[in-house]
Amino acid sequence: MEAQEAERTIIYAPRTASEANDMLADIAQRRQACELYAEACDTKAAYYAAQKKAERDKLDTYINERLPLLREFIKNMPVKKAKASESLKLPDGTIRVKYAVQKMSPDEDKLKEELKGTEYVVNEPTLKWSKLKDVLDIVDGKAVNRNTGEVIVGVNVINEPEKITVE
């Protein structure tokens, strides 16, 4: 009922300076009330965001404390092995261990300079990283061209740690 009445409110133009001033005062009061309400909402939102972060941090800590224990457990169990991982299905979820791997990351400026004039650099500014990566191997922490045995300067080898996830 109130919503219908609010829709039927008729606003008259002020006829006197006093009515205009009253209207301005009402607008200022409503603006102030709206700002106070917005500040209260922002305060509540910040409070809940902090609560949400605290709960997520607690969960992360809880999980991280248990991952090494699950890793130990899975060592002695018959697991499903894949190329770069192993997993164990249990009634309430799956424990998956992704093995530690080394990945290559190009330093394009160094590679362009190093491989200028070869098939791996197209028109100077563009490096054919995917094609180059296909002929590279990681040997003793360095990227080596398997065809020539040459160590390729400009490829950074990144050691990624083993990852354990619970699904």
Tens-place pLDDT, residues 83-102: 889 999 999 999 999 999 99
CA distance 67 to 97: 10
CA distance 22 to 16: 10
What is this structure's pTM? 0.50
Tens-place pLDDT, residues 36-81: 999 999 999 999 999 999 999 999 999 999 999 999 999 888 989 9
What are the structural domain ranges in the chain? 17-75, 101-159
Q: What residue ranges in the chain does DSSP mark as E strands?
A: 80-81, 85-90, 93-98, 101-106, 121-122, 126-127, 136-139, 142-145, 155-160, 163-166
Tens-place pLDDT, residues 98-129: 999 999 999 988 998 888 888 888 765 678 89
